[in-house]
Structure 1
Amino acid sequence: MAPPKLYIGRKIRELRESHNATQVVFAERIGISTSYLNQVENNQRPVSAAVLLALAENFQIDIASISASDGDRLLSALNEALADPLFDSYSPSLQELKLVTQNAPGFARALISCHQAYRRNSEQLASLDDTLGRGASAAEPTPYEEVRDFFHFVDNYVHVIDVEAERLAADLGIGERESSAALAKHLETRHGVRVVQTGADEDLIRRFDSKSRLLFLNPYSPPATRTFQTAFQIGQLELDATIADIIRKANFRSSEAKDICRVGLLNYFAGALVLPYQPFLAAAKELRHDLELLCARFGAGMEQVAHRLSTLQRPGHKGAPIFFARIDRAGNITKRHSAAKLQFARFGSACPLWNVHQAFETPGRIIRQLAETPDGIRYLCIATEISKGGRGFNTPHQRYAISLGCEISYAGDFVYADGLELTNRAAFEPIGISCRICERPQCPQRAVPPVKTRLVIDHHKRGALPYALP
């Protein structure tokens, strides 16, 4: 099979403009004609291997980074939006969708936002929500959804924060010695803030008293949680201007979204400080992404490690492209990110055939699955159940399952692939993204029909479903 043609005109144009070069100067530097460069920038012609090599040689860029299809998540979101029956009269081809996401990503995001507003409005009307018409318009995204989409479309990697966290981690020797003591000492010497334990009756994980300069941490929280919250407090004291600038550029609609994003960015800093980029990336490769060994080496929790693995997307120094999700017992995806081609549904629950649901049945174990999505892409999926809270018999426990994985071409980098039949297609279980956009005709676990498929009803036959798909 011939390799797919590479249309990256927008990236080439952005690279040229970042060097303040005209098309004539830029084309001459990489040894092509101006007309060819003009066609490439407008996605009228694909980029050849020779041009990629010339770009790498002349501009010191990472070929894998510039040629990567970083529009996959945008393409997936746009495809899901256009699968709505609202667009029944229009069925764009994959090539059309790619042209839009590559040439006009801003337009694609605007269309997705409009569709989200339509969905929210329609759902409220359908449920006769008595808040319709009060206060803020129901067509606007919630602050939480705004922040979730912000992280989704920056690839869950915030360079300026990640680099600052790595610099501080190197200064403090994080990864070389016990992190908790080093972070607490930094807080006291740099900011005059002392870490103390809360009383047994206080039901808070962290509380900072700015007057007394005391950071109270719950003594019944796991050590990894206390370390993370100490790192969070350092970020709150040192990154105020940096975070304010990121939030300003994000153009959130409400102050609530800004506040939620601020917490998200501080959480990002804390994770990047406890698990600094280069040492953590090197350890992940050395230990073949063994979650338990990574937790032990860095003194971090399972969810912290799994989430951090999905953020290793620094240009020129990327880790394996990993998807990560956290799901509750009701099937709600409460965290999600994918640096792989697998994209999570924005509406509805996750596929019931996905092994993340089974994790609740086997607490304390890591379970594996070889899975294939309807587009024919195969994945290694890893899932485990985690519990939070539980400080005493009468304290409620929060139970989640986390899942992460990669496309099968990267499976050899994971210890969890050992012993699995990676080359046997029959070993892969069929999974989907969401029933509403999955067109597998023979799925006994289907919850609802796909939105753009005609149903076949035979009153004289009944299978696992009361209808059939053509």
Structure 2
Amino acid sequence: MAIGKLFIGRKVRELRVASLATQAQFAEKIGISTSYLNQIENNQRPVSAAVLLALAEKFQIDIGALSSGQNDRLLSALTEALSDPLFETYSPNLQELKLVTQNAPGFAHALITCHQAYRRNSEQLASYDDRIGNPVGPVEVTPYEEVRDFFHFVDNYIHELDLSAEALATSLGLGDDDSHGLLVRYLEDRHGVRCARAEIGDGVIRRFDAKARILRLNPYAPPATRNFQIAVQIAQLHAADVIETVLRSANLRSEEAADICRIGLQNYFAGALLLPYRRFLTAARELRHDIELLAVRFGTSLEQICHRLSTLQRPGMKGIPIFFARLDRAGNITKRHSAAKLQFARFGAACPLWNAHEAFEAPGRIIRQLAETPDGVRYLCLATLVSKGWGGFKAAQPRFALSFGCEITYAENFVYADDLDITSKPAFDPIGISCRICEREDCASRAVPPFKRRLLINQDLRETTPYRLG
């Protein structure tokens, strides 16, 4: 697929302002005219390869950070919002949407927030039957959804926390499968906290007694889970100031959302501590993203590995852009992040043709799929089943499908693609994001028609679906 023209005026302007240069000074430094720079900053002209190279050389920046699709997740969310029949009289083209997300991301976020509120009000009204006459107030975004969007739009990478966790991991010598003893000793020596077994029958995973300085862990939890919970406790004690600084910058609208986000940030630090950035990135490349070997090397779970792979977005040291999602048996996406162009639907179910659903039918295996989305982008999709059950025969055994992968241009970096014919077009399964925004007309698995398409009904003809799209 050809690479489109790059309109990155906002990023270039931010770089110039940060360097305290006028347009004339900045243009001279990168070897272009002031008028050309002015046109670039106003997105009237795309940047050329020569300009990109000059920016990289003069300002020591990662070209990928400028030219990669960092706005893809915002563009995807805005596209989905504007596909609603509410906007049926307005159909912006792709270039218009790109200009909005690149030049006015705050406006795009505001529009998405308004659409979410509209959707929630509509869904609440639809759920009322005999109470339909009662007044229904506006349905606010839930704190959980607000926090999920915060992580989504920062690319699931928190620079300050990542650096802090990596520095601590380096000082402790963390980064392999012998982390437990180091974590326990650090917690006791530096913070005076002793680890102990939780009481038998206690259903909690972790309980911290701040007064007694005792961290009790469920003895039935897997070692990877216990290590992660120790790392979470270290995050609370070691990284509290950094976490509060990030929270203030998030501008969350309620204390409840802040509390939820605080847990997410503590979990982020824990993952970055157990899987320190440089060591993990190096190992991922060396082992060609074999998640089972990575889990063994670092003594973590498969889910922790997949999640960490999706966060490798450090400027100047990025990993492969990977998407990651966790689904339950009903198809609900309980975790999601995409550093790739593939974005997950915010409303409605995931595409039934996606191989993530097959993982429930093949426990113990990694399911592989070559897939193509309606925009023509091709992916290597991988999925496997994990169980969260522990604690004996009578304990709950929740199971989840982990889905991860990358655009096909990066497939050679994955051991899973070695024997796949990634050059064969018929080898790629057509998948979508969600039926409500998928434009494929001949899909036998379509659940609902796409929005903004007129239905053509022929009473004398029955094809894959009972209608054609006008």
After TM superposition, the structure 1 = structure 2 runs for residues 257-296 of structure 1, keeping only pairs within 5 Å, are 257-296=257-296
Per the alignment, do residues 236 and 45 of structure 1 end up closer, same or farther by CA in structure 2, a change over 3 Å counting? same
> What's the offset of the Cα at 1:362?
0.7
Deviations 1:291-331 (A, max 9, x none): 10000000000100000000001011000000000001111
> Is the 2:125–2:132 contact (alpha carbons within 8 Å) kept by the matching residues of 1?
no
Aligned to 1:181: 181
How far apart, in 2, do the equivalents of 1:334 and 1:176 lie?
28
Distance 1:121 1:158 in 2: 32
Structure 2 SS opposite 1:317: coil
Deviation at 1:466, TM superposition (A): 2.2
Query: Which residue of the partner structure matches residue 67 of structure 2?
Result: 67
- TM-superposed CA distance for 1:127, in Å, is 1.1
- Give me the whole-angstrom Cα distance separating, in 1, the residues matched to 2:338 and 2:228: 23
Check the 8 A contact 1:124/1:132 in 2, yes or no. Answer: no
Distance in 2, matches of 1:458 and 1:52, equals 54
Aligned equivalent of 1:164:
164
Structure 2, gaps ≥5 residues long: none
**Preserved CA contact (<8 Å) 1:359 1:401:** yes
Note the alpha carbon deviations across 1:332-381, whole angstroms, 9 max, x for none: 00100000000000000100000000000011111100001011111000
The answer on 1:467 being equivalent to 2:467 is: yes
Listed as ranges, the gaps of 5+ residues in structure 1 are: none
Q: Deviations over 1:50-79 (max 9, x none)?
A: 211211121111112112121111111111
How many residues are treated as equivalent by the alignment? 469
Secondary structure at the aligned position of 1:216 is classed as: strand
After superposition, the C-alpha distances for 1:399-453 in whole angstroms (9 at most, x for unaligned) are: 1101000000000000010111110010111100000000111111111110111
Cα deviations across residues 266-302 of structure 1 (Å, max 9, x unaligned)? 0000000001100000000000000100000000001
Q: SS of 1:323's equivalent?
A: strand
Aligned counterpart, 2:215: 215
Which position in structure 2 is the counterpart of 1:201? Answer: 201
Q: Is 1:81 aligned with 2:98?
A: no
Query: What is the TM-score normalised by the length of structure 2?
Result: 0.97
Distance 1:59 1:132 in 2: 62
| AA aligned opposite 1:440 | R
SS at match of 1:314: coil
> Are the equivalent residues in 2 in contact too, given 1:132–1:138 (CA < 8 A)?
no
Find the residue that maps to 2:323 and give its secondary structure: strand
Within a 5 Å distance, the mapping from 1:298-377 to structure 2 comes to 298-377=298-377
Q: Deviations over 1:130-174 (max 9, x none)?
A: 699889x54321001100000000000000000000001111111
> Distance in 2 between the 1:320 and 1:392 partners?
39
Match of 2:43 in 1: 43
> Structure 1 pair 184/134, CA: closer, same or farther in 2 (3 Å)?
farther
Aligned-partner Cα distance in 2 for 1:301–1:96? 43
1:396 Cα deviation from its structure 2 partner = 0.7
Cα distance, 1:464 vs structure 2: 3.5
State how 1:94-173 maps to structure 2 within 5 Å.
94-128=94-128, 137-173=137-173
Specify the SS of the correspondent of 1:342.
Answer: coil
In structure 2, the partner of 1:455 is 455
Structure 1: distance between partners of 2:273 and 2:134: 45
Q: C-alpha distance in 1, partners of 2:328/2:166?
A: 32
Task: State how far apart, in whole Å, the 2-side matches of 1:170 and 1:133 are.
Answer: 60
Q: Which amino acid aligns with 1:336?
A: R
Matched position secondary structure for 1:313: coil
Change (3 A) 1:132 1:216: farther
Task: State how 1:242-257 maps to structure 2 within 5 Å.
Answer: 242-257=242-257
Deviations along 1:207-254, one digit per CA (max 9) or x if unpaired, are: 000011000000100000000000000000111121111111111111
What do you get for the CA RMSD once the two structures are aligned?
1.5
Answer with 52-61 or 117-126: which moved more: 52-61
Amino acid at match of 1:4: G
Question: 1:46: Cα distance to partner?
Answer: 1.0
Q: Structure 1 residues 132, 187: CA separation in 2 closer, same or farther (over 3 Å shift)?
A: farther
* Deviation (angstroms), 1:468: 2.3
> Equivalent residue for 1:237?
237
Whole-angstrom distance in 1 between the partners of 2:332 and 2:19: 45
1:383 offset after TM fit, Å? 0.2
Q: Distance in 2 between matches of 1:321 and 1:237?
A: 32
User: Residues 393 and 2 from structure 1, CA distance in 2 versus in 1: closer, same or farther, beyond 3 angstroms?
Assistant: closer
Higher alpha-carbon deviation: 389-398 or 74-83: 389-398
CA distance in 2 between partners of 1:185 and 1:357 (Å): 42
For 1:211 and 1:2, how far apart are their aligned partners in 2? 61
Q: Percent identity?
A: 68
TM-score normalised by structure 1 residue count:
0.97
